[in-house]
Amino acid sequence: ESMQGKGGSAGGGGGGAKKSDVLAGVLPLIRTVCDHVRQVEAELGAPLVRELREAHRRYARSMAAARAAPDGKDGGSPDAGDEIVALQMDPDLRRYLKEMRNLRFASIEGLAEGHSFKHAFDADRKARSSDSRAIKRMKRISAELSSLAAGDLPVEAGSAIFLRSDEEAVGMLKALIIGPEETPYENGLFEFDIYLPLDYPQAPPRVKLLTTGGGKVRFNPNLYKCGKVCLSLLGTWEGPGWDPGKSTLLQVLVSIQSLIFVNRPYFNEPGFENSMGNPRTEREALLYSYRVRRDTLRVAIHAQLQAPPQAFADVVAVYRRLKRRAVLDQGRIWRIEAHRFKRELAKEEAKGRDGDKRRDRYSFGGGWHSAAYAKRNTACHDEIAATCAALEQELDPNPKVVSLEDVADAEARRERRRALLRALNSSDGAAAAPRAGATTRAWSLRPALRPERSSR
């Protein structure tokens, strides 16, 4: 209120408030906050107190610089706002970004052993010694890997791509993609085998998904249980294909990250996008996303933590250590959402809606809108809860009892962390624009997470 009063008086005078005036108004507020926090230091913890005191010192320095600046010019650090945002970020998240960016690319020995495309590599070995294409292939691979090692691979808190190569077996690669936030693949660890064939770059790379639960899980209409990846760049799907002069391995990896790992994967099936907006189709899309959530928690997170991919053991170790809290928050939110949606399905089952077992022609996999259909999807949500419990036991052996208030706090922390990261990632300090084609949880039936009364 005091800041608004200053702004109103400055605006009434016909001129904008200087940075020194703004900082002079903010500084007493920070002092007041620090005084209150000091009274409950034992309850809130020393790290928060240290960060608030550091923010106080930074603002004090900025105010002194603003006062010392010549008239008409703003002094102080131009990135003062970003510094304060960085202070508010989770310390574990800051360390996570710093350590993960050092692990984005590495060359390891013995990568070809057990590789999905070893047979193709062995078949091309004799031809490479006498084929003129081998020289062009080697130059192109060296140039691309050099740029990727220099930092072209995107590693952010919301999603990341890691790559491993073998100097002895050129063209044999492994990739790990951490599922993007605000999707059913969030924080999932998805491993891929990649082979750059003899006629590369005239021919596209060959890619296979390894995170399939032993060939039992299909994460997306474009990702088969056998590991096949359907993407136009790879020549396995319709659309703009591979361009030898322009297309790159990085483009393939980013396309998988942004075009396959989407927030509504149901509509990746050909023709399904035409039925967007249909209530029954939207219902099917939501159910499909919940099944993907279940598989992400069970196969791409829990199983990967129990048996990390050998080539990315260092990445998984940092993930377990520094992203543990974010993953636990995600699991608790998904669990409560699954429980609420389970209750909706139970109501449908009790009413016997569509009891004639009429097949929904838009249903992926041919689902039935009947009591049996609702019962099957209710079991899916029970599996989400069981997997979340196992994940909490893996990451937090001594958890406290989780209430609805805890879930609301977890969601608030996650949304606050995303807002801070968007502010940091934008060059001008404004919130970054959402990814093209993405929507903000339009598929989630998420009511406000408020404490509910219970007879217990």
Degrees to nearest 5, angle at CA 80 with 78 and 84: 160
Structure tokens at 39: 């009274």
Of 424, 389, 411, 448, the closest CA to residue 186 belongs to: 411
Amino acid letter, 108: I
Tell which residue, 190, 192, 198, 172, has the closest CA to residue 108: 172
Which token pair is 150? 């220099």
The DSSP output letter for 427 is T
State the catalytic residue, choosing from 34, 230, 380, 388.
230
Candidates 164, 168, 174; CA nearest to 117 is 174
CA dihedral 315, 316, 318, 324 (to 10 degrees): 150
Q: ∠93-88-86 over CA atoms, to 5°?
A: 70
- 230 included as an active-site residue: yes
CB 21 within 8 A of CB 10: yes
Q: What tokens appear for 423 in the block?
A: 């502010």
Instruction: Please give the positions annotated as active site.
Output: 230
